[in-house]
C-alpha cells in the first residue's frame, strides 16, 4: 500500500523545483518506509512514490521502478495477490526477475501482455506506467475501486495522485468548488461518479483504465459484472462455491512479508473472515475492535470477544471518548480530502491506530453487505415494490398526500413518499437524504442553482439504472450501491483512515471472482424473506456462534445522536455552522440550520445525520477551498 503521484506532458510543472517531492510528501503517511521520484524534463514527465513495504521490503522493491529493458517506469499503489502465479507464468516464457516484489511482476506483465494484463490480476491496485519510447502513459484502477486514482487536466498534460490534496499542490485552480455537485453531496452524503467537489479533479472509475498520449486522454472500461445470468443450483451447491471462493480470497490476502491482523467488529462479515482462515491460522492471530463508552447500543465488543475466544485470537480493543472523536474531526477532514458523511470513519481510524502498534496489514469485512444484501433498507424497498405492484401508483400517491395532510411522523411520511416513486427515481442508496428535507435547508438562490443540475452526474446515475433495467429489484439496488455507496463512501473511508495510520487494509469480500459469482446467485438466497445475507449465514452456520449470526447489524456504530444533544460537539457544530463565513456561502438558510440544532438538542427531532453532514461540508470548505481566495 502506497501513495502515487505524477505529472505527464507538462514541462512547466515538472520544472518547478521540488514540486514532485512536495506532492509525494503531502501523503507521507501512505508510505513511511521510503520515497522515490524520477523526472524526464524533456517529456514534461515526473513520477513520485511513497512506500509502505509489504511484499519484498528490500530496496529492490522500491519505486518508481524501471523495467528490465529500460522502456517502462511504474508507480503502483496496492497489491497483486496472485503475483506468484503470474510470475511463474512469465518465467515459463523466459522472463527474468530481479526482486521478489509484486510491482515487478505487474510491470513485466504489462511489458509482455500490454493492457490485457489487467484480466490476469487478482488484487487491489491503482498504477501508472510511463512508456519512454512511445511517450505514452497507461493507468488503471482495480475492478471494485478499493484503491483510489484522481487526475486533473493541466495545460495539455495531466496530473494524477492517490489523493486530491497532492493535485492541489500542482494546480491551485482545482480548489474551486463545483457548486453543481453540492446537491448531490446532500442527497448521498458523498459525490458519486467521476467528478469531485474540486472543480477539475476527476476520479478514474473502478474497472477503468486510462491512456494519455500526445495531449489526448482516452478512458475505457475493462471490467464490469451483471446479474443477468442467475442460476439456481440449490442452496447447498451455492454455499459450497461461496465458501471455496471466500477461502481462496482470504488465503491470497494473507500473503505478506509483514505481520497481518483482522479488524473484528463482532458482526457477521468480519467474524466470517476469522472463521474461514485456514485451519489453525486464527489461533494467535491478532484481532482488533473499537467501541464508544455510551452503553450497549454503541459497543460491539462482547460479540467480538465471543468470536475471538472461539478461535483463540490475540484480541485487542480501544474505547473512543466523545472528546477523542471531537479532537480528530479536523484530521478526519484532512485525510478524507473529499466531504464524506461517514462518522464511522473516525472509529476506523482509532482501531487502525491501535492495530498499527502490532501489525502492518489488516483484513476487514467491507463489501459483504453490497454483494450479499446485508441492509434492512433492501427489505423496505422490496416491500415498496410489492405495494406498488398490488395497490398501484395512484393509491400509493393518494396515501402519501393524506399522510402529509395528517402530519404523520417524518420517517413514516418519508417511506410513503418513496413508495410513490419507481425504483430508479426513489433509490439513492443506503445513506440517501430525502428531497423535502434538503429543500427546507436551501436558500432560494441555491434552490435555483440546483434546478440546473449536473448533466454528467445525472448521466452516470441514469446509466447504472439503464444497464440494470431488466434485473430484479434487489439486484438493481446491489449493483447501484456497488457503483456508488461502496466505492465513494465505504472504500474511500477504508482507504483514507487505514492509510492515515500506515495500515494496509485488505477486503476479501471484494475479490472480483466472488463478486461475479455472488451476482449469479438468485436474489431469493440473499434476501430470504426479511432475512438479509441468508446465503452467507448458511456458509458459516456451523462455524460461528448463533448469537453472532443472528444479531442485528451495527457496523462501528457512532453515538452522534447523543453527542449532538449537548456538550462540546453541539457547541462546535453551532459555532461552525452559524458563523458568518458558513452562512455567506449561500447554500443553507441560517434560521433552518439553527432550528435543526435546537430541535435535536431538545429532543423534538433526530437531526444528527443532517448536522454531521453540514458540519463535514463546512469544515471541508475551510480546510481545502477557502485557501483559493487567500
Residue 450 inside a domain? The answer is no
Quote the number of domains for the chain: 2
Last residue of a domain, one of 505, 525, 550: 550
Residue 396 has pLDDT above 90, yes or no: no
Residues 25 and 55 in one domain: yes
Residues 317 and 347 in one domain: yes
Residue 406 has pLDDT above 60, yes or no: no
Higher pLDDT, 111 or 381: 111
Residues 134 and 35 in one domain: yes
Residues 250 and 214 in one domain: no
The three three-digit cell numbers of residue 168, written as one number:
492541489
Q: What is the pLDDT of residues 104-121, one digit of tens each?
A: 999 999 999 999 999 999
Determine the pLDDT at residue 428: 82
Q: What is the pLDDT of residues 354-363, one digit of tens each?
A: 999 999 999 9
What phi and psi, each to the nearest 5 degrees, are found at residue 468?
A: -95, 5
Determine the pLDDT at residue 167: 96
325 in Cβ contact with 569 (< 8 Å): yes
Q: What is the pLDDT of residues 325-359, one digit of tens each?
A: 999 999 999 999 999 999 999 999 999 999 999 99
Distance CA 351, CA 333 (A): 18
Residues 187 and 285 in one domain: no
Residue from 2, 209, 362, 450 carrying the catalytic annotation:
2
Determine the pLDDT at residue 628: 46
The three three-digit cell numbers of residue 330, written as one number:
479536523
Annotation marks residue 2 as catalytic: yes
Residues 243 and 306 in one domain: yes
**Which CATH number characterizes residue 54's domain?**
3.60.20.10
For residue 142, give the 3-state DSSP assignment.
coil
Residue 338 inside a domain? The answer is yes
Question: Any idea which of 401-410, 455-464, 517-526 has the lowest mean pLDDT?
Answer: 401-410
Last residue of a domain, one of 517, 550, 583: 550
> Concatenated DSSP letters for 560-571?
HHHHTTSSHHHH
Determine the pLDDT at residue 296: 77
Residue 27 inside a domain? The answer is yes
Q: What is the pLDDT of residues 536-561, one digit of tens each?
A: 999 999 999 999 998 877 656 688 99
Residue 625 has pLDDT above 50, yes or no: yes
Percent helix, percent strand, percent coil in the chain, to nearest 5: 50, 15, 30
Last residue of a domain, one of 188, 221, 254: 221
Residues 203 and 279 in one domain: no
Distance CA 317, CA 354 (A): 8
Residues 197 and 261 in one domain: no
Determine the pLDDT at residue 258: 86
Residues 261 and 342 in one domain: yes
Q: How many CB atoms sit inside 10 A of residue 31's CB?
A: 25
pTM of the model: 0.94
Residue 529 confidence class, pLDDT cut points 50, 70, 90 = confident
Residue 630 has pLDDT above 50, yes or no: no
Residue 556 inside a domain? The answer is no
Strands, E assignment, 16-86: 34-40, 45-51, 65-66, 72-80
The b/e string for 265-286 (b: 16+ C-beta within 10 A; e otherwise) is bbbbbbbbbbbbbeeeebeebb
Q: What is the pLDDT of residues 589-624, one digit of tens each?
A: 999 999 999 999 999 999 999 999 999 999 999 999
Higher pLDDT, 383 or 161: 161
The three three-digit cell numbers of residue 129, written as one number:
506506467
The mean pLDDT value for 368-396 works out to 82
To 5 degrees, how large is the angle CA 47–CA 191–CA 346? Answer: 80
Residues 214 and 315 in one domain: no
The dihedral formed by the CA atoms of 562, 564, 568 and 571, expressed in degrees to the nearest 10: -160
**Mean per-residue pLDDT over the chain, rounded:** 91
Residue 12 inside a domain? The answer is yes
Residues 192 and 269 in one domain: no
The mean pLDDT value for 259-286 works out to 90
**Which CATH number characterizes residue 363's domain?**
3.40.50.620
DSSP β-ladder status, 150-154 and 314-320? unpaired
Determine the pLDDT at residue 433: 75
Determine the pLDDT at residue 429: 79
Range of the domain at 358: 235-373+481-550
Residue 594 inside a domain? The answer is no
Share of the chain above pLDDT 70, in %: 93
Q: What is the pLDDT of residues 216-258, one digit of tens each?
A: 999 999 999 999 999 999 999 999 999 999 999 999 999 988 8
Question: Any idea which of 10-14, 420-424, 524-528 has the lowest mean pLDDT?
Answer: 420-424
Residue 71 inside a domain? The answer is yes
> Concatenated DSSP letters for 98-125?
SSS-HHHHHHHHHHHHGGGGGGG--EEE
Amino acid at each position: 500500500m502506497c501513495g502515487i503521484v505524477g505529472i505527464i506532458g507538462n514541462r512547466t510543472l515538472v520544472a518547478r523545483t521540488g514540486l514532485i517531492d512536495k506532492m509525494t510528501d503531502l501523503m507521507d503517511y501512505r508510505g513511511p518506509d521510503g520515497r522515490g521520484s524520477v523526472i524526464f524534463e524533456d517529456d514534461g514527465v515526473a513520477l513520485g512514490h511513497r512506500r509502505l513495504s509489504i511484499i519484498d521490503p528490500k530496496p529492490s522493491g522500491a519505486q518508481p521502478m524501471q523495467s528490465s529493458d529500460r522502456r517502462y517506469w511504474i508507480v503502483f499503489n496496492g497489491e497483486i495477490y496472485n503475483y506468484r502465479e503470474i510470475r511463474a507464468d512469465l518465467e515459463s516464457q523466459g522472463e527474468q526477475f530481479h526482486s521478489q516484489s509484486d510491482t515487478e511482476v505487474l510491470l513485466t506483465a504489462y511489458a509482455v501482455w500490454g493492457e490485457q494484463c489487467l484480466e490476469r490480476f487478482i488484487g487491489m491496485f491503482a498504477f501508472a506506467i510511463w512508456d519512454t519510447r512511445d511517450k505514452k502513459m497507461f493507468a488503471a484502477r482495480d475492478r471494485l475501486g478499493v484503491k483510489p486514482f484522481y487526475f486533473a487536466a493541466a495545460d495539455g498534460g495531466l496530473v494524477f495522485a492517490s489523493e486530491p490534496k497532492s493535485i492541489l499542490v500542482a494546480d491551485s485552480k482545482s480548489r474551486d468548488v463545483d457548486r453543481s455537485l453540492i446537491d448531490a453531496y446532500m442527497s448521498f452524503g458523498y459525490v458519486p461518479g467521476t467528478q469531485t467537489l474540486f472543480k477539475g479533479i476527476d476520479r478514474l472509475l473502478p474497472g477503468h483504465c486510462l491512456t494519455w498520449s500526445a495531449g489526448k486522454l482516452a478512458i475505457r472500461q475493462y471490467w464490469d459484472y451483471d446479474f443477468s445470468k442467475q442460476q439456481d443450483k440449490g442452496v447447498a451447491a451455492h454455499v459450497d462455491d461461496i465458501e471455496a471462493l471466500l477461502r481462496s480470497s482470504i488465503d491470497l490476502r494473507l500473503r505478506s512479508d509483514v505481520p497481518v491482523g483482522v479488524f473484528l467488529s463482532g458482526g457477521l462479515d468480519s467474524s466470517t473472515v476469522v472463521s474461514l482462515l485456514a485451519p489453525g491460522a486464527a489461533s494467535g492471530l491478532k484481532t482488533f475492535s473499537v467501541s464508544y463508552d455510551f452503553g450497549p447500543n454503541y459497543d460491539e465488543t462482547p460479540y467480538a470477544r465471543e468470536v475471538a475466544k472461539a478461535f483463540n485470537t490475540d484480541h485487542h480493543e480501544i474505547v473512543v471518548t466523545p472528546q477523542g472523536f471531537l479532537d480528530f474531526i479536523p484530521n478526519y477532514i484532512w485525510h478524507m480530502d473529499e466531504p464524506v458523511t461517514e462518522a464511522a470513519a473516525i472509529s476506523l481510524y482509532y482501531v487502525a491506530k491501535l492495530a498499527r502498534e502490532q501489525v502492518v496489514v489488516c483484513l476487514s469485512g467491507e463489501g459483504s453487505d453490497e454483494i450479499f444484501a446485508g441492509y434492512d433498507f433492501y427489505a423496505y424497498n422490496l416491500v415498496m415494490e410489492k405495494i406498488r405492484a398490488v395497490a398501484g401508483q395512484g393509491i400509493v400517491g393518494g396515501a402519501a398526500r393524506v399522510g402529509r395532510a395528517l402530519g404523520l411522523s417524518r420517517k413514516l411520511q418519508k417511506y410513503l413518499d418513496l413508495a410513490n416513486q419507481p425504483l430508479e427515481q426513489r433509490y439513492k442508496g443506503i445513506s440517501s437524504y430525502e428531497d423535502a428535507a434538503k429543500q427546507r435547508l436551501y436558500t432560494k438562490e441555491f434552490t435555483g442553482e440546483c434546478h440546473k443540475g449536473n448533466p454528467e452526474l445525472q448521466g452516470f446515475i441514469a446509466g447504472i439504472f439503464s444497464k440494470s433495467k431488466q434485473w430484479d429489484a434487489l439486484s438493481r439496488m446491489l449493483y447501484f450501491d456497488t457503483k456508488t455507496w461502496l466505492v465513494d463512501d465505504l472504500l474511500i473511508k477504508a482507504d483514507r483512515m487505514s492509510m492515515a495510520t500506515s495500515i494496509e487494509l485488505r477486503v476479501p469480500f471484494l475479490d472480483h471472482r466472488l463478486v461475479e459469482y455472488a451476482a449469479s446467485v438468485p436474489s431469493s438466497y440473499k434476501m430470504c424473506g426479511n432475512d438479509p445475507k441468508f446465503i452467507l449465514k448458511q456458509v458459516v452456520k456451523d462455524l460461528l456462534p448463533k448469537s453472532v449470526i443472528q444479531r442485528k447489524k451495527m457496523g462501528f456504530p457512532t453515538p452522534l445522536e447523543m453527542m449532538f444533544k449537548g456538550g462540546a460537539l453541539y457547541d462546535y457544530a453551532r459555532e461552525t455552522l452559524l458563523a458568518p463565513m458558513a452562512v455567506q456561502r449561500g447554500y443553507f438558510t441560517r434560521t433552518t440550520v439553527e432550528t435543526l440544532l435546537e430541535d435535536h438538542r431538545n429532543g423534538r427531532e433526530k437531526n444528527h445525520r443532517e448536522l454531521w453532514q453540514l458540519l463535514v461540508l463546512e469544515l471541508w470548505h475551510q480546510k481545502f477551498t477557502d485557501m483559493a481566495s487567500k
